[in-house]
Structure 1
Amino acid sequence: MASTFTDIKFEIRGQIGIIKFNRPKALNSFGGNLIEDTIAALRILNEHPDTVFTVLTGEGRFFSAGADVRGFGAGGSGGPPQYKNDAEKKLAFLGRFNYATELLRSMIDHKKVLILALNGPAVGGGAAWFPGIADIVLATTGSWLQCPFSALGLVPENGSALSFAQHMGIHRANDFLMFGTKLSAQELKDAGMYNYVWDKTGEEFQAEVVRFLEGQLEGNDGKSMMEMKRLQNAPIRDARLIAVVNAVDALAERFVEDAPTKRFAKKKAELEAKSKERGAKL
Structure 2
Amino acid sequence: MADQYPDIKFEIKGQIGIIKFNRPSSLNSFGGSLIPSVIAALRDLNNHPSTIFTVLTGEGRFFSAGADVKAISPDDAPTSFRNAAEKKLSYLGRFNYATELLRSMIDHKKVLILALNGPAVGGGAAWFPGIADIVLASSTAWLQCPFSALGLVPENGSALSFAQSMGIHRANDFLMFGRKLSAQELLDAGMYNYVWDATGEEFQGKVVAFLEEQLKGNDGKSMMEMKRLQNAPIRDARLIAVVNAVDALAERFVEDAPKKRFEEKVKELEAKKKARSNL
- State the TM-score, normalizing by the size of structure 2: 0.97
Unaligned runs of 5+ in 2: none
- The total of aligned residue pairs comes to 278
CA displacement 1:155-178 (0-9 Å, x = unmatched): 000000000000111000000000
1:1-282 map, 5 Å: 1-71=1-71, 72-75=73-76, 80-281=78-279
Alignment root-mean-square deviation, CA: 1.1
Note the C-alpha offset of 1:2: 4.3
CA displacement 1:63-92 (0-9 Å, x = unmatched): 0001111351234xxx84210000000011
CA displacement 1:23-54 (0-9 Å, x = unmatched): 11110011111101100000000000010000
Would you identify which runs of 4 or more consecutive aligned residues in structure 1 move more than 4 Å?
none
Mapped partners of 1:6, 1:276: distance in 2 = 40
Mapped partners of 1:213, 1:43: distance in 2 = 21
Mapped partners of 1:270, 1:47: distance in 2 = 49
Mapped partners of 2:199, 2:117: distance in 1 = 7
Mapped partners of 1:68, 1:169: distance in 2 = 29
Distance 1:274 1:80, change over 3 A: farther
For residue 30 of structure 1, what is the amino acid of its counterpart? F
- Contact 2:75 2:259 (8 Å CA) reproduced: no
Mapped partners of 2:96, 2:78: distance in 1 = 21
- Contact 1:2 1:11 (8 Å CA) reproduced: no
Note the C-alpha offset of 1:110: 0.2
Unaligned runs of 5+ in 1: none
Identity of aligned residues (%): 81
For residue 219 of structure 1, what is the amino acid of its counterpart? G
Note the C-alpha offset of 1:204: 0.1
Note the C-alpha offset of 1:3: 3.3
